[in-house]
Structure 1
Amino acid sequence: PPVVTPLPQILLPAGGPEQALSLDLYVEDADTPDDEIDWTVIAEPGVAARIEARRLFVSIPAEQQGSREVTLSAEDPQGNRDEGTLIILIQQDDELPGFALEVKQNAVVGDLLDIIIQPSEELTGPPQVTINGVAVEVRDRGDGTYEASYAVPPVDMEQTVAVIVTGRDRAGNLGERSIDITAKRLSGSGGSVAVEDGQATVNVPSAVVGPGRLAVFYPLGKEDRPVGIGDDPGTLIFLAVNGENDLMSPVTLNLFAGAQVGDPDTGVEHWKPMTQLWEDVPTVVDEDTGWLSASVTEPGIYRIGQVEPGNRRPASQLNNYPNPFNLIEGDTSIEYEVTQSGGVVLEVYNLLGQRVRLLVDEGFQAAGLWTTTWDGRDDDGLILASGIYIYRLREPGAKRVRQMLLLK
């Protein structure tokens, strides 16, 4: 007759997936092949058990506790039978599910924000998402992630998009994640955008934007950190403008470092996903106010970190870098500080006093550090001769002038 050998004691999580056990390992019968043994199973309440192809599949529904028994019977063709008991210890899953969020501007509809949701574990169904207190549709993307969208109202002003995501895992635990995204529909003149706590701002010139396009700006939570970024990378800021991988012109990122600004290696760093390394960003340091400013040309993740001394320089109300600059090597970036919000004009003149290029002509720019570029061309797109050029900034109540050297 068949003999059921001692069955193991196994540990299964409540709400977890099915576990399989090969029954051929637990029967001895010298006269009967394994495939002629007929197995049956009787499980206590609180256990899901079935037999298929001489394997036992067993799982524990959510919210079960303690232990359960499963009785297995093996019978040969002559009607001889034996049975054994499998003891299941139920492992409690008290960890709440988390949600990593990624915000993108829709590639087709410019005023839509797409919010990608990555749960930390399998859920019983799609998560629930509310945006500014209103429940929105959630789409299953088929790869373990979900997506919700939000249409930013057509108002040229800074808006807070309050997102709350909730979902229940297979163990019945309810997780929640909330995030405040700062979005601004930028008019043709650009604008300034700040995160909710005011510790980071970005100044976007008109050259970067098209009417109705968006700037998106928000601090990353622990759940949102990319692989390889480290356990304690500090405060991370995500920046995107127009949903593009590259910006047409630099934007100025401002991060508040406080007393840390006085450290000789404090500066702005950019996370490079391809190399999984932090890269120094040339940083303007204002020790009087505690702010760091950097001219950036890529969207992505930024932080206050440690940079080489050569990538730090003191704040100036008007400056260009590099100077001199060579057209073969690229444009020169002109950083200028608007000390009082209002109309701003930045122009380039030759030594004869003739204006050759209008770089900035804004009816309103917020006070702060801004960046634009000059490619050595005049207003008609013609490359200018090598030599010294004057650039002049006019803002409410002030006018500043500097020189730069163009080489060819």
Structure 2
Amino acid sequence: MEPFALAPAAERLQTVFRTRPWLLDTAVAVLVVVVGAISRPTLSFITWSQTVYTLIVVGCAAALVFRRLFPRPGLTVIAILLLGHLVAAIEPGLCVALICLIAAYTTQTQLTPPWRWVFLAAIYGGTVAAIMTSPIPAVDVRGRLIVTGVVLTLLTLAALTGVIRRQRRTRYTLAVERANMLEAQQDADRRLAAVEERTRIAREMHDILGHSLNAIAAQAEGVRYVLRSDADRADQALADIGWLSRRAVDDVRDLIDVLTTDAAQTSVLPTPSLGDMPELIASLRYTKAAIRLQFDGDVDAVPGHVGLAAYRIVQESLTNALKHADGVPITVRVTVQDRHVEVAVLNPRAPAVPLPGTAAGGRGIIGMRERARALGGAVEAGPDPATGGWRVRATLPRSRA
């Protein structure tokens, strides 16, 4: 049970040291002072050399506390103090060696080139000079060289440990940055998907309600003219109004069901296509406008998503024509080619007011262009140079290149 109990404690300790690095540096400084107190030479103020040594150890320990916050000034203070240790010809001990190891490690974790290598070279040079010139009794030149080699090896190991630590920290930082970038990208994708979904819902609601309500209004206007002269025709027009109203309610209910139902459980709702064009025209037969439909090509061979876009474009164009140029004849042409489907809605009279999606700022023509652009096609809406009327022309690819 002990490993399981120690693991959370070690993780908590790492978290504390990661958020408060000065605590670890303070602990390192205390360790240096303790080693200086129990090793040779000892810390005391009895003699001049011991006093100098004590001040050097305490000063280096204080500088180590700030080795992360101020690495260059801290290492500079340590270098000056160790230089004083060398000038004072004090016998090198375990505490000074420990300070040099920590300083070598710090050069690789806290400094950037060229200071990283300048301070490390200074540590190497000072170490060699201290060992070769310090008063070590009963140690000849050969022994000093062996000690120098061992100490330089330890310093190199400390520096390499710092390099590994720096690389791990860099990889961790890069991983965190990549994770943050990925999270931001996913958040942006979610926002974009939400915007696209709201746009799609708004377009569908506009197409369904806009056409149905305008058709009902046009049919109602037609009933006023035939109510007294042709009761049967008026009755049929009222029946069409009722049918359009029920269909609009059903379409809205279906759309709401799609929005409120889990996507995995949502059934695919039937969508209109080019084959439903005659029914669309028939629903407007009691308006003031005479609508003529022309097909050229096999409409059944058109993919469903292309047929839906063409149907909605014609539906919106008829709605605009009935609203802004009521009473004029309208021609709907659908041409199915090998690679494209062309849809044209023509009437001989230009609108008296700006159409939706132009200067008026509505959604009509904008929605048609968005549908065509989603398929890689285009919509042109404007005056017809041949007749002086109004023309809506859409070109929809049957398949993407």
TM-score category (smaller protein): under 0.3
With the length of structure 1 as denominator, give the TM-score of the two structures. Answer: 0.22
- Higher share in helix: 2
Task: Select the structure of larger CA radius of gyration.
Answer: 2
- Higher share in strand: 1
With the length of structure 2 as denominator, give the TM-score of the two structures. Answer: 0.22
